[in-house]
Structure 1
Amino acid sequence: MSSPVQLLKQSFDELSRTNKKIAKYVMENPQAASEANIEDLAEVTETSTASVSRLVKTLGYGNFREFTLALAYTQLRPQNLPIFKDIDANDSLGTIADKIFNSSQRAIQDTRAGIDEDEFARAVLRIIHCRRLGLFGLGGSSVAALDGYHKFLRTSIDCFYYPDFDVQLMEAVKLGEEDCAIVVSHSGKNRQTLKVAETLKKRKVPVIGITSYPDSPLALHSDITFISSSDESNYRSEGMYSLLAQLAIVDTLFMMATVRMGPATEDAIRNVQNIIESTRT
């Protein structure tokens, strides 16, 4: 199948005036379009989410996410590799592996160096004393949120995570001062994630934010902020390494909370381990 940009070029003359506005933006800004959600693309092209949805389906994609994934893939082809700092198309596989591993290690080390122990202590106290723990994250950041849920689910803490934005929003409005939320966003400015964060703040829910940008809206909405650092300057490549740092932060919070809870959570962990073991041959 042709790339999204090729499909748009091929069908451009047959598109409606509204669809041409969307197509023109995507063709001229494929990277930005691949990182946008449907609301952002509709806003920047002065159209509607319905128009964007109809266009991508006209091109043969099942939904907007499928379209943006295909668009993102075209940005990762060899001719576009300069967006990855320090990686050249002529590098050997071993050299590429070394650079990726080194960057990943630096991201985790820089993240740890930038977090004060007092911040960990404040966050852990919020977590172990909360009534319910909600984990929120969308797009690439949903990986860290889901990983955190999978870990805290093994403890006696009542926790939840849902991948769907609407469900996250509904869960956010049900939380209160006695609860706690961990909100993850690499950029710290995803519109839907910020809507969740704003809802949590209105409900006076303590928010632990994990983002790569200390001046981002998410950081400003958070009671406690952890900055996932990386040594990359490009948004896309930076997201690769900051995800590892986000996972390390979540792992650290889980382990600290588990140790501090002691016997209170040992039975829950043991019961979960036993039931999982019973499914293995």
Structure 2
Amino acid sequence: MLDRIKASLSSLAPAEQRVGKLVLADPRAFANLPVSELSDRAHVSKPTVVRFCRSMGYDGLSDFKLKLAGSVSEGVPFIHRSVDVDDKTSDVMVKVIDNTVAAFLKYRNEASTSALEKAAETLAATVENRRRVEFYGAGNSGIVALDAQHKFFRLGVNTIAYSDGHMQVMSASMLGAGDCVVVISNSGRTRDLMDACDIARKNGATTIVITASGSPLASAGHIHLAANHPEGYDKYSPMVSRLLHLLIIDILATSVALRIGGTHLQPKLQEMKNNLRSKRYT
């Protein structure tokens, strides 16, 4: 909850930002103080305090303070951050969307543009030299790898995605200098992905890893694209992490397309679109 507030601050009105900063400064005090005291400390009106709580996806100040107290005390099992068992569908909708938006805003504010630039340049060089680009992921991240393969395939890239550990190891063993592997992992601790990354690197391929900072995989690749979020990978099936990984893939695909575009890519994409028209009902 605190991570989400911090990530959302820049998108709030100045007065609501002051309320958010008051929450972050002392969450426990905020949960216990009356609205008059909160408005005085934040130098805002009482309605602004309530408006901030609703901007964060809660019914009002009482609901916000209740959830804040639970978040600060921790130890309560959860399915999705800030979602409770008694929430209505409308509450779940708002909170899931807010969690996702908060994660995206946090990434926008904290992402290393130099790392993204380096990754895009590496991928573009791999494509221009007609070498292989491969995407590895396991479980939920395997779906992201497939999406990445689909996006780069449409750019005319010689690419494939593997989610099976044995196939990853075998394919990594066949790579060499000039090839590139993008390894995607929420936890950064999956043994199969670590093995495949190590093999690809030893064989001379450039390795790009999309994973959480501080994980073993983060230091195993040549280029680390940090994907940090408040979800706990060991507590439930990730939701925000998957969308964050997809976002990073979109950034890379767009950046690579701009680098390799030239005069040949655009006609090919147009031809592809024309050929697909016959597959749709008019």
CA contact (8 A) 1:134 1:159 kept: yes
3-state secondary structure, aligned to 2:78: helix
Q: Which has the larger radius of gyration?
A: 2
Change (3 A) 1:196 1:265: same
2:82 counterpart (64, 83, 86): 86
3-state secondary structure, aligned to 2:279: coil
CA contact (8 A) 1:155 1:266 kept: no
CA distance in 2, matches of 1:272, 1:159: 18
Where do 1:1-281 residues align within 5 Å? 82-130=78-126, 131-212=131-212, 214-233=213-232, 235-237=234-236, 239-263=238-262, 264-281=264-281
Letter in 1 for 2:90: G
Provide the aligned C-alpha RMSD in A: 1.9
Letter in 2 for 1:187: S
CA contact (8 A) 1:81 1:87 kept: no
Change (3 A) 1:99 1:234: farther
Aligned to 2:44: none
| Deviation string, structure 1 residues 172-200 (Cα, Å, up to 9, x no partner) | 11111201111001000101111111111
CA contact (8 A) 1:103 1:231 kept: no
CA distance in 2, matches of 1:170, 1:277: 38
3-state secondary structure, aligned to 1:207: strand
Using the TM superposition, give the Cα deviation of residue 234 of structure 1 relative to its aligned residue in structure 2, in angstroms: 6.3
Using the TM superposition, give the Cα deviation of residue 81 of structure 1 relative to its aligned residue in structure 2, in angstroms: 6.0
Letter in 1 for 2:242: L
CA distance in 1, matches of 2:209, 2:88: 38
Letter in 2 for 1:112: R
Using the TM superposition, give the Cα deviation of residue 278 of structure 1 relative to its aligned residue in structure 2, in angstroms: 2.7
| Deviation string, structure 1 residues 21-61 (Cα, Å, up to 9, x no partner) | xxxxxxxxxxxxxxxxxxxxxxxxxxxxxxxxxxxxxxxxx
CA contact (8 A) 2:187 2:233 kept: no
CA contact (8 A) 2:112 2:225 kept: no
| Deviation string, structure 1 residues 214-240 (Cα, Å, up to 9, x no partner) | 111111111111122223356435821
Using the TM superposition, give the Cα deviation of residue 259 of structure 1 relative to its aligned residue in structure 2, in angstroms: 1.2
**What TM-score results when the alignment is normalised by the length of structure 2?**
0.67
Change (3 A) 1:238 1:116: farther
Letter in 1 for 2:222: D
3-state secondary structure, aligned to 2:224: strand
